[in-house]
Structure 1
Amino acid sequence: MTIERKPILTLQNICKSFGQTEVLHGIDLEVYSGEVVALLGENGAGKSTTSNIIAGGFHQSSGDMTWLGESYSPNSPREAINSGLVLIHQELRLLEHLSIAENVFIGRWPSKLGMISRKEMEARAQAQIKRLGLNIPASSLVRGLSTANQQLIEIAKALALDAKLLILDEPTAALGGAETELLFEQIKRLKEDGVGIIYISHRLEEIRKVADRLVVMRDGNTVEKFDSGDVPVRTIVESMVGRDLNQMFPLIPVPKEETGIEVKHLSSPNGAFQDINFSVKKGEIFGIAGLIGAGRTEMVRAITGADPIATGQVFLNGKDVTPKTPTRSIENGVVLVPEDRKLQGLVLDHSIEDNIAYANLSTISKLGFISPSRIKDYAKTAIERFGVKGVGGQNADEMSGGNQQKVILAKWLAKDPKVVVLDEPTRGIDVGARSSIYEIIVELANKGIAVIVVSSDLEEVLGISNRIMVMAEGKMTGILDRQNANDVSVMELATAFG
């Protein structure tokens, strides 16, 4: 007689609306104990919304969930945690000035006779981190621990709550190869202990190593389920985007003859970059490559007025426009889409409309006054132009990374700039959303705008650039034409130290 195996968590026809906009259209999902289910999809597919419904952050508009065979509908993250379901966010939320044990038991410290029992707390925390293979005293401060170890401490917090299901949201985003393998080893241990795991990641190659099953989402729908994690990456991506991937990068235009921006002998006060010289033609996409610490970000921040310049000049259409402030740079038509979109690019707890308006107040205002209706109309045009998936009144922090990036592009491009600088334009953005960002970049070049793209993704910088400048240790080591640029030639220049 075969005993039927039952899932610990089920989602049936889950729908979710924010105002008049429905973002989930009937999600179905099952998770069994001791297995890893990878939840995949483009930014905006609905993965985060689904996770938040499971973890009590949102409440579904319709549909049913069960947990351990019982009806389940948490009204808060605390209620979900108490039930044994824990969401571990991509952004770690540990308090660095507290010990490991204090972080593991924060808000529920073991006590005897009204006094916190530090001995018991540290013993119980030690047991959990030992379970994950960490040989660090639980009394140690979190400050100074590696990102990988902090990730494991977040998991230890969940296990101390007797979690039976973990939702890991981009757990390897900040990890290197060795640290990722360490995490995978701990996931294997958790599976052996019967813990169910929902695993969300854009790193599709690692999915094949860690997942038992795959669930693919697209535009708020469950579109594909695979009974194995060993699925070709191309098959996964085509399921995510709903089309064949014949060409990742669009055809890039031929630049005009006129120079758009020119940088001469640029150096920083702190030595982050020295004696940088290059020019970008109108309609050219100029890539900047290099290893971490090469000075790429510091350099583009300087030419857009965000960081100081020690020596050198910036010219626009032959005119000296060397900036001292970001405001002056923007007035001259040179704008920056920064590396950290959440901290530097958007006001996350404000609406899409407001974020677009903040950069365009002089255009939107009439006789010094700004009406809500003008903001709505202005933002609506920008949202439609760049294919932002969202409504104007929606907060920026409710959007996927790809759509947040489109909002940043929308707010600056509404000013009709002459030069657009994009620092890591697709970091943390999935394959499908990347292609739409590339199409926007090409659209800018087609309009005669000089485009500068800084990227750590070698395939990206090779695929989207007319020319590539390579930097190493703050110095430019060469500029390659498209026909002479490949992964070998770029890496040779990127490692040309001294």
Structure 2
Amino acid sequence: MLMSETVLLEAVAVTKRFPGVLALDGVDFKVRAGAVNALVGENGAGKSTLMNIFSGVYDDFEGTLKRLGQPIRLANVAEAQQAGIAMIHQELNLVPHMTVAENIFLGREPLTVAGLIDFPTMKANAQALLDRLHCDAAPDSLVAELRVGQQQLVEIAKALSRNAQVLIMDEPTSSLSEKEVQRLFDLIRRLKAEGRGIVYITHKMEEIRLLADYVTVFRDGRTVHEAAADSLCLADLVKYMVGRDTKDFFVKTTHTKGPERLSVKGLTLEDATRPGRLVLQDISLSVSSAEVLGIYGLMGAGRTELLEALFGVHGQRVEGTICIDGQSVTIKTPQDAIHHGLALIPEDRKRDGLVLGMTLEQNTSLASLWQFLTHGLLSQRKEHQEAESYRERLHIKSYSCRQQAGQLSGGNQQKVVLSKWLLTHPRILLLDEPTRGIDISAKNDIYALMDQLAGEGMAIMVVSSELPEIMAVSDRILTLCEGRLTGAFEQSEFSEEAILKAALPNCRKDDVSQ
């Protein structure tokens, strides 16, 4: 592994405190030139806190930052950018209704001699950057019209326009298609070859194997291991991250399947923006009590739309028959769904699952406020008791139930979303990408919770884009492609190759109905 030993950016004994929380406890981290420096650890381990220090968001910390060996203090984001440090956030930081070129040069627009924005020059400069990144987005396209993968390249173009030498990428593949992931990997390799230092934060072990040159592991705010990536095996890496062996991880329990809980026949969903186009076509399926039904498909297959249709999100645009416990029901709103015992854990927990500025207990009670009303008044004592009960049951790490949801790690935020919906006492739980962007330990907790709920008789439908995950948690798997069911697999038939093939276009099985 031939790489420069030049350290572009370094944290030495950095400590950061928040009220009631020691987020970083003397951590060390090096960003080497011409290398992918992976930073891994559970959510809450301190990764994001250190990256916010690197990018100038936090300037009140103990310890030292060094840029090319010289101590440096970054008072704000602008100073970090001037120092050649750029962060590509998991939630992209772009203005949707501005053009690609306007986003790239926002606040640094080229001007004419008259002091006006020089749009032709800005467009030409943007095009040069996009060409360099092999991005097919046009400089005058609105960002809102781009795919997520294209938007990510625009963020990287913005960083390169400032000549950033250190690029911090936080879970960059979480919303990308397989093809977009490969394009991103190719780009990262080119940036590395130019001598730039890449900080790569991920929970996906395969990405570390494919990309990383060095790996640093954080646990509980401390640096617990640093090594060349090729010297680590997966089992050791996971053990460093969570502090225990992989043999302690989730193993699915075999439950005796109960009676049919949910039956769907001929479910069809019309596209809201293109009348006549069907997002879902003639979907028929069933799931029983004490069963976990996995739904697998590629991006755009209709997985999320299927769960949303069952939960009443799409209202009158949904046709077909839904039966619960043998009785036909009408579900045209989420209120209808809750009334009939359904709960939906959405794909985007921050946008659709939580109110980030509200506390844990306020979020937990949102979908079941009626339980806490006495003569029309909210009993905060009851609300607090229930929230505290779920905080303990789901092992939510927070200093109290009155901590804001936005201050929690991703895994703990997801547990708050689960608490909210479990408090409605559902009979059917719909989970859309329940472990996206969360760490191994939190994933294990959620798998174990699903297994426990199935054992208690709940019917569960789970969507995941991670094939090994959906095979590990499901009793049966159905595949979706272009809005149609294309395959059905019992647990004894699970095979990555067969399931993936069934999810690909032009590889369908006929007349699937399960």
TM-score category (smaller protein) = 0.7 to 0.9
The CA distance in 2 between the partners of 1:114 and 1:478, in whole Å, is 61
Give the corresponding residue for 2:104: 104
The CA distance in 2 between the partners of 1:493 and 1:69, in whole Å, is 53
Matched-pair contact (CA < 8 Å) for 1:209–1:229:
no
| CA distances 1:162-200 after superposition (whole Å, capped 9, x unpaired) | 323221222233444554444344434433444322111
The CA distance in 2 between the partners of 1:381 and 1:252, in whole Å, is 25
| CA distances 1:71-95 after superposition (whole Å, capped 9, x unpaired) | 3333322232223221111233334
Give the corresponding residue for 1:66: 66
Matched-pair contact (CA < 8 Å) for 1:14–1:60:
no
1:411 aligns with 2:382: no
Give the corresponding residue for 2:259: 258
1:401 aligns with 2:402: no
**1:21-420 alignment runs, 5 A limit:** 21-111=21-111, 112-122=113-123, 124-125=125-126, 128-129=129-130, 131-132=132-133, 147-229=148-230, 231-246=232-247, 248-269=249-270, 271-308=278-315, 310-391=318-399, 392-420=401-429
| CA distances 1:252-302 after superposition (whole Å, capped 9, x unpaired) | 241353333333443335543344443333222222233444433323222
Picking from 467, 473, 490, the partner of 2:499 is 490
The CA distance in 1 between the partners of 2:189 and 2:238, in whole Å, is 25
The CA distance in 2 between the partners of 1:375 and 1:231, in whole Å, is 46
Residue segments in structure 1 that go unaligned for 5+ positions in a row: none
| CA distances 1:378-435 after superposition (whole Å, capped 9, x unpaired) | 3222112111222433333333332222111111112222121112222233333221
Structure 1 letter corresponding to 2:420 = K
The CA distance in 2 between the partners of 1:358 and 1:132, in whole Å, is 44
Distance 1:254 1:133, change over 3 A: closer
Picking from 454, 462, 467, the partner of 2:471 is 462
Matched-pair contact (CA < 8 Å) for 2:8–2:31:
yes
Give the corresponding residue for 1:13: 13
Matched-pair contact (CA < 8 Å) for 1:100–1:153:
yes
Q: Structure 1 residues 358-367 or 464-473, which shifts more? A: 464-473
Structure 2 letter corresponding to 1:366 = T
Question: How far is the alpha carbon of 1:132 from its aligned partner?
Answer: 4.2
Q: Structure 1 residues 472-481 or 431-440, which shifts more? A: 472-481
3-state SS in 2 of match to 1:168: strand
Structure 1 letter corresponding to 2:315 = P
Distance 1:259 1:137, change over 3 A: closer
Q: Structure 1 residues 121-130 or 461-470, which shifts more? A: 121-130
| CA distances 1:297-347 after superposition (whole Å, capped 9, x unpaired) | 323222222223654333333333332211122122211112222222122
The alignment's TM-score, normalised by the length of structure 2, stands at 0.85
The CA distance in 2 between the partners of 1:306 and 1:364, in whole Å, is 25
The CA distance in 1 between the partners of 2:122 and 2:481, in whole Å, is 48
Question: How far is the alpha carbon of 1:122 from its aligned partner?
Answer: 4.5
The CA distance in 1 between the partners of 2:211 and 2:479, in whole Å, is 35
Q: Structure 1 residues 166-175 or 4-13, which shifts more? A: 4-13
The CA distance in 2 between the partners of 1:292 and 1:266, in whole Å, is 20
3-state SS in 2 of match to 1:349: coil
Structure 2 letter corresponding to 1:361 = L
Distance 1:75 1:375, change over 3 A: farther
Structure 2 letter corresponding to 1:91 = E
Sequence identity percentage = 41
Structure 1 letter corresponding to 2:256 = P
Distance 1:229 1:395, change over 3 A: farther
Matched-pair contact (CA < 8 Å) for 1:253–1:445:
no
Distance 1:492 1:33, change over 3 A: closer
Question: How far is the alpha carbon of 1:37 from its aligned partner?
Answer: 1.1
| CA distances 1:57-84 after superposition (whole Å, capped 9, x unpaired) | 2344433323344433333222322232
The CA distance in 2 between the partners of 1:5 and 1:473, in whole Å, is 48
The CA distance in 2 between the partners of 1:135 and 1:269, in whole Å, is 30
The number of residues matched between the two structures is 495
Structure 1 letter corresponding to 2:36 = V
Give the corresponding residue for 2:275: none
The CA distance in 2 between the partners of 1:415 and 1:141, in whole Å, is 41
Question: How far is the alpha carbon of 1:49 from its aligned partner?
Answer: 1.6
3-state SS in 2 of match to 1:266: strand
The CA distance in 2 between the partners of 1:131 and 1:480, in whole Å, is 44
3-state SS in 2 of match to 1:272: strand
Distance 1:86 1:308, change over 3 A: same
Give the corresponding residue for 2:274: none
Structure 1 letter corresponding to 2:425 = D
Q: CA RMSD in A?
A: 3.0
The alignment's TM-score, normalised by the length of structure 1, stands at 0.88
3-state SS in 1 of match to 2:247: coil
Residue segments in structure 2 that go unaligned for 5+ positions in a row: 272-277
Q: Structure 1 residues 118-127 or 88-97, which shifts more? A: 118-127
The CA distance in 2 between the partners of 1:125 and 1:295, in whole Å, is 34
The CA distance in 2 between the partners of 1:292 and 1:152, in whole Å, is 19
Distance 1:135 1:371, change over 3 A: closer
Q: Structure 1 residues 375-384 or 5-14, which shifts more? A: 5-14
Matched-pair contact (CA < 8 Å) for 1:218–1:240:
yes
The CA distance in 2 between the partners of 1:311 and 1:113, in whole Å, is 59
Distance 1:453 1:128, change over 3 A: closer
| CA distances 1:111-137 after superposition (whole Å, capped 9, x unpaired) | 335333345545554554555456887
1:435 aligns with 2:478: no
